[in-house]
Structure 1
Amino acid sequence: MRALVARRPSWKRPPYASGLAGFALGRPLFLLASILGLSPILAAPHHAHAGAWTLKEGAGQAILQTSLLHSNQEYGPDSRLYSSRPFDKTEISLLFEYGARDWLTLIAAPQFIHVKLGAPDSASYTGLGYVDAGVRTRLWQDENRVVSAQGILRLSGTGNASSAAAAGYENTEIDLRLLGGLSFSLWGRPSFLDVQLAQRFRFDDPPDEVHLDITLGIRTAPRWQMLIQSFNVVSEGAGKGPWYGVSHEYYKLQFGLAWQWRPNLTLQAAMVGTAYARNAPQENGLVLSAAYQF
């Protein structure tokens, strides 16, 4: 698909929040590329595992992640690119996971955000975003495969913020997902594939969404792992109000490297961009993470 930049159309785009990950690809090419994609969880340094796997009883990890995103274009109803009001977004999240049992992992993740919207109608918001709490439970596992289920309650921390920059972070959400993981050898290197299908219920004005996150991790060297990530979101129709009056969909790709700096500390850097979308901003940015196992 040839990306065209034109004047901003008259429709209202959905809010800028994308949750926790630009290339002008057509949808068929992007969906094919997504088969080699992944999700935003750091792989544990001792195993080529992520996402679907639960932690051992008594084990835990803390992941600090910072996303720096920018946009000055958006995809319209016809999925063509248009110039738009610029915005910059910083998301800082601190994810805690703890193995209550070998088959049950507890999850908590507060989020801090800074969003700045450019002219016209400049606005900004700095403060709490979402505060997540939930569990992941293992349903089945053998030597190389695992199937899990996860439920997360997402509570807004924006309070009574009246800024347009806080749109997308103001409504309670429930994220229910089924996760599958596969550990295998790719080109003679330890690898994993993690697939997550989610139903996200969004209360009040925003429409519910279906999420598909796919992860491929390849151990390229004893202390290095290559990560290719795909984040795919499709709304279930339109919502209500000025920010949610149209349905939306967006597909992001993220490419990164994880380095095991210490036996229990792994660092990751990645580039992320919106590959294709409809009624959504075209975001590009950098994601930095640090994972500590204890």
Structure 2
Amino acid sequence: MQARLWQTRRRSGASGGRRSFAVASLAAMCAALYAEVSHSAAWVQEQGAGQAIVTGIYARADKAFSDDGSQTGAVDFQKGAVSLLIDYGVLSWLTVSGTAEFGSDTSERLPFRRPGLSNAALSVRAQVYRSDRYAMSVEIGGRTEDAYGEADRLVDTFGWDSPLLEARWSGGANFELFGRASFADVSAGYRYRTGEGPDEVLLDATLGVRAFDPVTLLFQSFTTVADGDIAAISVRQKAQASVVYDLSEAWSLQTGGFATVAGQNVLAERGAFAALWYRF
């Protein structure tokens, strides 16, 4: 997930005043595997301003979490993907976000190549409260995914998965941690699948610390729980850490790593990512 650090400078000047350390949650997945870009946040963009973030990730898994939460078996999974996030402030209280991913998976020697668009999402986020220290927003949107891409002919599954409708609530606060400007952001959401397949409950959390100019440290947690048939229940708990380096007022570079630290009926993934942000 990418933090919107540029909001600090636009509201407080290049010194990055601590009262306005308004950073949103990372475009994570930039971070979460399967490009579950989590761009919901307590803060919205300023009217007429926005950002574009390009993220590249690589992940692999050689184990999986069983239905009792223990790691079991030898699996062979790899993923490479590039994702794009665009966030734009239409009004002072309303932000529009769009994401898209292009990528390829390899699972047990079966390639799931996606040379074109493999998933896309569009959402609107509205500010419902904001002060110098606290912020709150709500978001609603939809996403669609192509689960198999070029492997359709091998697995006899064609077309796109059922679209997902998503609603989120996000809350955040600015504060000091060990004398450093910091923020925390939490987000709770629900994804409703319009066709076959489980719905999902989402819970994300982000802690950001301005270690020193121009470096910000980000620590995140992403939790997804499938809310469907008991036989298909899955839980994924993913942790991520990254460093954001401001190259200029307009450009930033983010690098980090992530891993699935707990789960049920999911892969034990681990990987790395890099992202380039452009603020306009």
Match of 1:153 in 2: 142
Q: Note the alpha carbon deviations across 1:184-235, whole angstroms, 9 max, x for none.
A: 1111111110100000112322210110000000000110001001000111
Post-superposition Cα deviations, 1:11-35, rounded to whole Å, max 9, x if no partner, equal xxxxxxxxxxxxxxxxxxxxxxxxx
2:3 is matched with which residue? 42
User: Which amino acid counterpart does residue 216 of structure 2 have in structure 1?
Assistant: Q
The one-letter amino acid of 2:112's match is: S
Superposition map of 1:34-183 within 5 A: 40-45=1-6, 47=8, 48=21, 49-50=23-24, 51-119=41-109, 122-126=110-114, 127-157=116-146, 162=152, 170-183=161-174
Gap change, CA 1:179 and 1:165, over 3 Å in 2: farther
- SS of the residue corresponding to residue 58 of structure 1 reads coil
TM-score by length of 2: 0.82
1:160 deviates by 7.1
1:159 shift after superposition: 8.7
- SS state at 2:229 partner: coil
CA RMSD of aligned residues (A): 2.1
Q: Is the 8 A contact 2:201 2:226 kept in 1?
A: yes
CA displacement at 1:45 relative to structure 2: 3.6
Aligned residue number for residue 248 of structure 2: 262
Q: Deviations along 1:91-136, whole A, 9 cap, x unmatched?
A: 21111111111100011112112111124xx232223221111111
Q: Is the 8 A contact 1:45 1:260 kept in 2?
A: no
Q: Distance in 1 between matches of 2:181 and 2:46?
A: 21
Q: Distance in 1 between matches of 2:156 and 2:47?
A: 41
Contact 1:42 1:291 in 2 (8 A): no
One-letter code of the match for 1:279?
N
Partners of 2:279 and 2:155 in 1: how far apart? 38
RCO higher in structure (CA 8 A, sep ≥6) = 1
Tell me the number of residue pairs that the alignment of Structure 1 and Structure 2 aligns: 247
Residues 159 and 170, structure 1, Cα contact 8 Å, conserved in 2: no
5 Å-filtered alignment, 1:276-291, equals 276-291=262-277
Mapping of residues 214-229 of structure 1, within 5 Å = 214-229=205-220
Query: Whole-Å Cα distance in 2 between the matches of residues 281 and 83 of structure 1?
Result: 10
Higher helix share goes to which structure? 2
Gaps of 5+ in 1: 1-39, 240-244
What is the TM-score normalised by the length of structure 1? 0.79
Q: Quick one: distance in 2 between partners of 1:160 and 1:218?
A: 39
| Alignment-derived partner of residue 31 in structure 1 | none
